[in-house]
């Protein structure tokens, strides 16, 4: 089975692209969603996060307080590095087990920080989704109901598109939603032939 990575900056449309692959019957592992789950339900990881950031990063019901954690990590690069160093190994192990359970010609792992975490090195193919920065900011503001400044801070904490593209085997341009499906169709056919 071919292990495909799907990445891109915040607001680039990774999830939109992933859902198009799912419509074709391709399994997708959503690393960011799984990370949130593990941060709440993996006892060791939760303990490590509380030790590093304090109990206020969890609500009284035990669920992750994403807003509190975000206010810490997006204002301090060392804290962002720390949370990534805690979460990425848990995601790597979970993702590896997930891939082993798949029985399709290829399967996709979708993650924002795939290159930053080094997890792209365990994959066979890397697909990078791109979109213009203004469009990405607009999408994230609409989706997350946050200010332009907040989105810009998040973008600045990620790799640039140029850095991501240097690792890409394939690129999907997501500036025109009408053209995404044909790009996904073409890539799907190519991956089936590998």
Q: Which residues contact 72 (CB under 8 A, 6 or more apart)?
A: 53, 57, 79
| pLDDT single digits (tens) 6-57 | 999 999 999 999 999 999 999 999 999 999 999 999 999 999 999 999 999 9
| pLDDT single digits (tens) 106-152 | 999 999 989 988 999 999 999 999 999 999 999 999 999 999 998 99
Domain ranges of the chain: 1-27+105-194, 33-101
| pLDDT single digits (tens) 64-79 | 999 999 999 988 889 9
CATH superfamily of 33-101: P-loop containing nucleotide triphosphate hydrolases (3.40.50.300)
Establish whether domains 1-27+105-194 and 33-101 are of one fold: yes
pLDDT at 77: 86
pLDDT at 99: 96
CATH number of 1-27+105-194, picked from 3.40.50.10470, 3.40.50.300, 3.30.1490.20, 3.60.20.10:
3.40.50.300
Q: Which residues contact 124 (CB under 8 A, 6 or more apart)?
A: 2, 3, 4
Q: Which residues contact 12 (CB under 8 A, 6 or more apart)?
A: 129, 130, 131, 136, 174
Determine the average pLDDT of the residues in 54-62: 95
Task: Using alpha carbons, select from 18, 28, 31 the residue that is nearest to residue 112.
Answer: 31
Residue 157 has pLDDT above 90, yes or no: no
**Model pTM?**
0.89
Do the Cβ atoms of 5 and 127 come closer than 8 Å? yes
Sign of the CA dihedral running 70, 44, 87, 33: negative
């Amino acid at each position: 089975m071919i292990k495909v990575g799907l990445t891109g900056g915040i607001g680039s449309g990774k999830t939109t692209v992933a859902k198009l692959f799912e419509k074709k019957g391709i399994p997708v592992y959503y690393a960011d969603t799984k990370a949130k789950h593990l941060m709440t339900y993996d006892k060791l990881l939760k303990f490590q996060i509380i030790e590093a950031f304090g109990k206020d990063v969890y609500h009284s019901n035990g669920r992750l307080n994403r807003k509190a954690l975000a206010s810490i990590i997006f204002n301090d690069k060392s804290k962002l590095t720390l949370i990534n160093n805690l979460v990425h190994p848990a995601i790597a192990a979970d993702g590896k087990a997930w891939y082993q359970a798949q029985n399709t010609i290829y399967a996709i792992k979708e993650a924002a920080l795939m290159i930053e975490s080094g997890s792209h090195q365990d994959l066979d193919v890397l697909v990078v989704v791109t979109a213009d920065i203004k469009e990405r900011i607009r999408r994230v503001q609409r989706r997350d109901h946050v200010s332009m400044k907040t989105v810009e801070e998040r973008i600045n904490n990620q790799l640039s598109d140029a850095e991501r593209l240097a690792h890409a085997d394939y690129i999907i341009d997501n500036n025109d939603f009408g053209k995404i499906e044909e790009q996904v169709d073409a890539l799907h056919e190519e991956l089936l032939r590998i």
